[in-house]
C-alpha cells in the first residue's frame, strides 16, 4: 500500500510538471525578467538588437559608452473599460542596457516587468534572481 501511495504521488507531480509545487519538489524555478535581461551581459549589442529589434531609445555618453532602452506596456485591468466607465490602468516594463565597446556591461529592469515572461525556461531553484547593475 505504501509503494502504491508513493507511485501515485509521483505520477500526480509528473502531471503537474512546471507547476509551483512540482518546481519546488524538483528544485527548479522559472526564469524571471531579471534573469533574461541579465543574461545579455557580455553579449555584443548587435546580438541584442537582432533578437529584440531596434531599441526605442538610446543615448551616447561622453565617454563613448551608450545607453539603450526597450519599453513595453499592456492593459492591466481589463479591455472593456469604456463599457464599465473606469479609467484603464497600464503597466510599463522598462529594460535598459549599458553598452561599452560594443558589448553589454550593465542592465536594469523595472519592477513592472512580468515576473514570468513569455517563453521563460525552468532553471535550478538555487540560482539567485539577479539584481540590476544600473
pLDDT score recorded for residue 112: 86
Reported as a single tens digit per residue, the pLDDT across 73-93 is: 887 776 666 666 667 778 899
> How confident is the model at residue 25, as a pLDDT?
72
Q: What's the pTM value of the predicted model, to 2 decimals?
A: 0.75
CATH number of 33-119: 3.30.1450
The three grid cell numbers given for residue 108, joined into one nine-digit string = 536594469
Instruction: Name the residue ranges covered by the structural domains of the chain.
Output: 33-119
Q: What is the pLDDT of residues 106-118, one digit of tens each?
A: 999 997 888 888 8
pLDDT of residue 24: 59
Give the percent of the chain with pLDDT over 90. 59
SS (H, E, C) the chain: CHHHHHHHHHHHHHHCCCCHHHHHHHCEEECCHHHHHHCCCCCEHHHHHHHHCCCCEEEECCCCCEEEEEEEEEECCCCCHHHHCCCCCEEEEEEEEEEECCEEEEEEECCCCCCCCCCCCEEECCCCCCCCCC
Amino acid at each position: 500500500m505504501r509503494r502504491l501511495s508513493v507511485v501515485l504521488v509521483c505520477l500526480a507531480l509528473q502531471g503537474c510538471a512546471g507547476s509551483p509545487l512540482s518546481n519546488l519538489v524538483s528544485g527548479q524555478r522559472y526564469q524571471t525578467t531579471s534573469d533574461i535581461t541579465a543574461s545579455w551581459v557580455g553579449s555584443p549589442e548587435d546580438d541584442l538588437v537582432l533578437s529584440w529589434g531596434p531599441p526605442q531609445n538610446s543615448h551616447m555618453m561622453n565617454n563613448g559608452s551608450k545607453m539603450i532602452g526597450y519599453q513595453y506596456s499592456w492593459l492591466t485591468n481589463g479591455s472593456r473599460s469604456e463599457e464599465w466607465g473606469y479609467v484603464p490602468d497600464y503597466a510599463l516594463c522598462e529594460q535598459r542596457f549599458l553598452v561599452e565597446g560594443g558589448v553589454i556591461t550593465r542592465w536594469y529592469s523595472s519592477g513592472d516587468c512580468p515576473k514570468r515572461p513569455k517563453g521563460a525556461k525552468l532553471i535550478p531553484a538555487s540560482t539567485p534572481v539577479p539584481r540590476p547593475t544600473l
